[in-house]
Structure 1
Amino acid sequence: MRSAEHRSRPRAGALAAAALAGAAGLVSAQTIAPPPASCDKPLYLTFDTGHMGVAPLVAEVLQRQQVRVTFFAADEKTQTGGDSLDNQWAPWWKARAAEGHAFASHTHSHAYWLADERTVEPRFRIRPSAGAFAGRTFTWTAAQYCESIQQAADRLAHVTGVKPLPLWRAPGGKTSPKLEQAAQACGYRHVGWSPAGFLGDELPSEKYPNDKLLAQALQRIRPGDVLLAHLGIWSRKDPWAPAVLEPLIVGLKAQGFCFRTLRDHPDYRAWIAAHP
């Protein structure tokens, strides 16, 4: 995925973040996990939020396999009728923080970028898929898009007690150089995924069965890849995680791979260090 260089976060945003940190007793994400052991074939498994139906299973597998991942969170509708960052799910997020996972924004309203507007000041055509305005199309300024990124990060900080990484992921991976530049100006670097890291859990299971996706991933994944999965996909009839997640982790470990969070990714370490 594309990414650009940064400017520092606006002062008002920094002050707000500092106030939140003080109020919530946040700790830096970098202090949660011990320094990683030597790892010659690292992989960076990431999860975006979804309907959360498989979230308990995902947590069990990750803990059993002692794998740490990075969660990109939006406040999405869940199978239980709430939202993925609401108080019902707060204990789940808090437990993941205690285990040493990392967290980053997926925009609060899961706001899809549709197009850059042809305006002097950056403006973007956006369609949220979560929240009160889901399904409607808007034109947002750079500041409005940054607000959605920051809102998800603030909520993550509240439910985990950990300061999220200064990273974000555009819903669907849909973005543009102008949008990424705007996000970097307010302190957030974009993270996509590697071509082989697209694990296919949002594809139709009739055409892409779980055994096919597992075999494909084990064959194609290479060291340094950023992998993408979700905490539940509404449209997939045969859920991916129960059938594929643990066999995939076990199979990749057998090939000599190890798992790290994006805190340790060489493309983002310096950015994270510069935005504590």
Structure 2
Amino acid sequence: MASGRSTTSGIDRRLLVAALLAAWPAAWAAEGSCAKPVYLTFDTGHMDVAPLIADVLARHQVKVTFFAANERTKTGDGSLGEHWAPWWRARAAEGHEFASHTFDHVYWRADLPGGGFRVQASAGPDQGRLQDWTAARYCAEIDKAARRLEQVTGRKPLPLFRAPGGKTSPRFVQAMRDCGYGHVGWSPTGFLGDELPSQSHPNAALLDQALRGVRPGDILVAHLGIWSRSDPWAPAVLEPLVVGLKSRGFCFRTLREHPQWRDWIARKS
């Protein structure tokens, strides 16, 4: 279609989910051993689809890791503001994990002589401004989001962070590791595409690509709402993706259980 919108109707999606549900028993049998784990993660966004995402995760008993920043939202005072605090507390009660995405969604832009970094926030009072920060200043920015997460959830976040956009340098990653935070990106086949334009990447194509491409051990990434996408990803893709991966023997785990990070988390906790 010229608009690039998904051609999969609501009825079609329900039929797909129903068909995949029929294939679940074999996947359930393998769930305990988890021979094919995947690690679904969500970064914050405008939060409009957050309730829907929570419903899908609860319905299918999927635990994920949320990377949170205080981003602008369609409703309320920011994704880590008071309006959304009950939503985060409910996710903690369900057993999800949390980690920092920096408080003001601060992008790394470049390494600077002397060990500092050029950065740019996309939220907060310095939104859009290029600034030069020390490593300690960026660490404090990670800490700020982690402290807020602990305040609203009552749970200590994981000693991990995700740089906005996944943009880093080796020196930047090491500097943050030195102050206690491991950087987590995502697998090449784990990029679920919800940031891409709907016109060139319709939901049906993104779902098909993920179901064909995801591999055991992959870290997957999506968002709690993308402002620029005209055809929202989560309502069309998340549930059939979860059901489809489970029907193929995949199981969902949090980053606390990831082999690259579990010892680090145990040492830092």
Matched, 1:207 2:193: no
Distance, in Å, in 1 between the alignment partners of 2:212 and 2:33 is: 24
The equivalences for 1:105-184 within 5 A come to: 105-117=100-112, 119-120=113-114, 122-184=115-177
Match in the other structure for 2:68: 73
Equivalent residues of 2:96, 2:254 under 8 A apart: yes
Matched, 1:89 2:81: no
The equivalences for 1:162-241 within 5 A come to: 162-241=155-234
Displacement, 1:81?
4.6
Distance, in Å, in 2 between the alignment partners of 1:211 and 1:37 is: 30
Structure 1 range deviating more: 49-58 or 36-45: 36-45
1:51 is aligned, of 22, 46, 52, to 46
What's the secondary structure of 2:74's corresponding residue? coil
TM-score scaled to structure 1, two decimals?
A: 0.86
Q: How many residues are matched?
A: 239
**Letter of the aligned partner of 1:70 in structure 2?**
T
What's the secondary structure of 1:76's corresponding residue? coil
Distance, in Å, in 1 between the alignment partners of 2:207 and 2:106 is: 29
Percentage of matched positions with identical amino acids? 67
Displacement, 1:80?
1.4
Distance, in Å, in 1 between the alignment partners of 2:88 and 2:32 is: 25
* Cα deviation digits, residues 224-253 of structure 1 (max 9, x gap): 000000000000000000000000000000
What's the secondary structure of 2:199's corresponding residue? coil
Match in the other structure for 1:18: none
**Letter of the aligned partner of 1:88 in structure 2?**
H
Distance, in Å, in 2 between the alignment partners of 1:43 and 1:103 is: 17
Displacement, 1:37?
3.2
* Cα deviation digits, residues 158-187 of structure 1 (max 9, x gap): 010000000000000000111111111110
**Letter of the aligned partner of 1:170 in structure 2?**
A
Match in the other structure for 1:257: 250
Equivalent residues of 2:76, 2:84 under 8 A apart: no
Displacement, 1:38?
1.8
Distance, in Å, in 1 between the alignment partners of 2:248 and 2:53 is: 21
**Letter of the aligned partner of 1:263 in structure 2?**
R
Match in the other structure for 1:102: 97
Distance, in Å, in 1 between the alignment partners of 2:122 and 2:237 is: 27
**Letter of the aligned partner of 2:87 in structure 1?**
W
Long gaps (5+) in structure 1: 1-35
What's the secondary structure of 1:162's corresponding residue? coil
RMSD (Å), alpha carbons:
0.8
Match in the other structure for 1:20: none
Distance, in Å, in 2 between the alignment partners of 1:144 and 1:108 is: 12
Distance, in Å, in 2 between the alignment partners of 1:179 and 1:238 is: 35
**Letter of the aligned partner of 1:60 in structure 2?**
D
TM-score scaled to structure 2, two decimals?
A: 0.88
Distance, in Å, in 2 between the alignment partners of 1:187 and 1:95 is: 27
